[in-house]
Structure 1
Amino acid sequence: MIIEEIKNLIQVHLNEIMSLRNTKTLKADGSYVSQGDLLCENLVKQYIKENFPDYALVSEESPEENTINWRKDKVIILDPIDGTENFVSGLKEWGVAICVYENGIHKESMLALPELDCYLKTGDTFERFESRICGISSSLTKEDILKLEPGFEYRIIGCAVYNMYNVVTGSFFSFENPKGAKVWDIIPGLNLALENGLSVVVNNEEYKGELLSPNEKYKFKILNKK
């Protein structure tokens, strides 16, 4: 499995990636990127080039290549570090998200939380929890938060991989982003949620595993069925 090999790659280089968490710079959109993000992306990019040269890469930190690459027959989608704000702030709740498509069909995905040593991959079996906690995106404003439906426990973590991991394993009852997120943030988690029988809605329509464009943002909600 491509996913398993990339998991091993991340684990081998984890200390090196973490040593770069104090190298943050601001991007044009006001978010941070660190040399840790770029190292992780370069490691995966080089590994794909050497071992899976027939796959194209769609990645958050390579926007100039994404518009062409996502239309290829074989595509690997990567978020090298999701939750960079957490990463550069010394928090452990940051992740790596990766997803593989062939001819528009999902093949395998992984949600990795390397510093927490938590990994969730296609085909994994795991303990399921029953929770009343709802995860929500950190993109919500104070006004948005005040409008949240009462009667639920809410958590804002600032890392989609962490939130996706928790909703798939049942530690969250639901996770949603009503503002919208890019494909590399969400598509591995969306597909792992589908694989494990959760309800997945994207842009107010049932999601069925289709490949999503890197040029748009997608609103979504993942819900554990009762």
Structure 2
Amino acid sequence: MDDVTPLLGQVRDLVLTSLPRMMDLRYNITWKPDGSPVTDADVFLEREIEGLLREALPGLRFVGEESWQPDTAFDTDWVAVLDPIDGTENFCSGLKEWGTTLSIWHKGQHRGSLLMMPELNDVVMSGHIPRVPQSRIVGFSSSYNEDIGRGIAENPESRIMGCAVYNLINVIRGSYARFVNPRGAYNWDLLGGVALAREAGCDVMIDGKAYDGQFLEPGRRYRVDIRHRYDLHPGQGSLG
């Protein structure tokens, strides 16, 4: 498969058509060992998307937040990384600020990614990145630590939304000037977003170093700092 854009569109459509079933499963909650929630909707959507991807990409190595095992080997050409519902705490609390993130890789190279917030009707994907002229807002991850506290004190226009997809979509398109997660998140939370941020021309730092487009391994946390590059928008100037 030379172009995964049609496949990303199929996944987007699958998520949207699955929404009624997901709403039925929204409040069926169990708790992971770390105390975070997982709903039946998370598991349902992951299985649905995995099935679609495996049919389209034979031999696929699939990394899903709800099913990944630490001994997974990456000995195949195609790899897909999925978080079916990012911001599950929001989702199972009845908030609309949750999202789905998918990233597809071939032989270690990024081929395409999708971020979407289904209840907010928001989509950013490879080849389709909307732009916002300017913003002063800095978004922070919701896992509080002292760095976040200092960042909020230094930035009068700050936001904590509890959803990495929400934060990533908004910094990619420029609704945020910057998004910072100093505690770190897993590859299924971040990979699609950092790949799309790089595609959009944002300045992307992973663990304090410039992100050069490499695959992020599952099972470990990565600290991220993304700044939107308004100077890449012709005639709009820099943030200043």
Deviation at 1:12, TM superposition (A): 1.3
- What is the one-letter code of the residue matched to 2:190? I
Deviation at 1:13, TM superposition (A): 1.0
Q: Deviations over 1:5-57 (max 9, x none)?
A: 11111111111112211111110011000001000001011222333223221
**What is the aligned partner in structure 2 of residue 50 from structure 1?**
55
Select 2:201's aligned residue among 190, 197, 200. 197
Paired AA for residue 44 in structure 1: I
SS at match of 1:72: coil
Structure 1 residues not aligned, in runs of 5+ = none
Partner of 2:35: 30
Q: Deviations over 1:113-145 (max 9, x none)?
A: 01111111100142323110000000014x544
Query: Could you say which residue in structure 2 is the equivalent of 1:87?
Result: 91
**Counterpart residue identity of residue 183, structure 2:** K
Q: 1:131-162 CA distances to partner (integer Å, 9 max, x unpaired)?
A: 10000000014x54432252441100000000
Give the match for residue 184 of structure 2: 180
In structure 2, distance between residues paired with 1:5 and 1:201: 31
Equivalent residue runs for 1:121-140 within 5 Å: 121-140=125-144
Shift of 1:69: 4.4
The aligned counterpart of 1:211 is 215
| Equivalent residue in structure 1 for 2:23, among 18, 22, 25 | 18
Is 1:156–2:156 an aligned residue pair? no
Q: Is the CA contact (8 Å cut-off) linking 1:82 and 1:161 kept in structure 2?
A: yes
Distance in 2 separating the partners of 1:178 and 1:37: 26
Consecutive aligned runs of 4 or more in structure 1 exceeding 4 Å deviation: none
- Say how many residue pairs are matched: 224
* Partner residue, 2:232: none
After superposing the two structures, state which structure 1 stretch, 149-158 or 178-187, moved more. Answer: 149-158
Partner SS state of residue 154, structure 2? coil
1:174 partner letter: R
Q: CA RMSD in A?
A: 1.5
Show the 5 A alignment for 1:92-103: 92-103=96-107
The residue identity in structure 1 corresponding to 2:8 is I
Unmatched runs of 5 consecutive residues or more in structure 2: 1-5, 230-237
The alignment-based identity, stated in percent, is 39
Deviation at 1:68, TM superposition (A): 2.2
Judged with a 3 Å threshold, the aligned counterparts in structure 2 of structure 1 residues 71 and 213 are, in CA distance, closer, same or farther, namely farther
Q: CA deviation at 1:62?
A: 1.0
8 Å Cα contact 2:178-2:225 kept in structure 1: yes
* 1:89-121 CA-partner distances (Å, limit 9, x unpaired): 000000000000000000000101011111111
Query: C-alpha distance in 1, partners of 2:206/2:156?
Result: 22
CA contact (8 A) 2:129 2:200 kept: no
* 3-state secondary structure, aligned to 1:96: strand
C-alpha distance in 2, partners of 1:48/1:121? 16
Q: Is 2:59 the counterpart of 1:63?
A: no
Match for 1:40 among 32, 40, 45?
45
**d(CA) in 2 for partners of 1:21, 1:103:** 36
Superposed displacement of residue 172, structure 1: 0.5
State how far apart, in whole Å, the 1-side matches of 2:181 and 2:140 are: 6
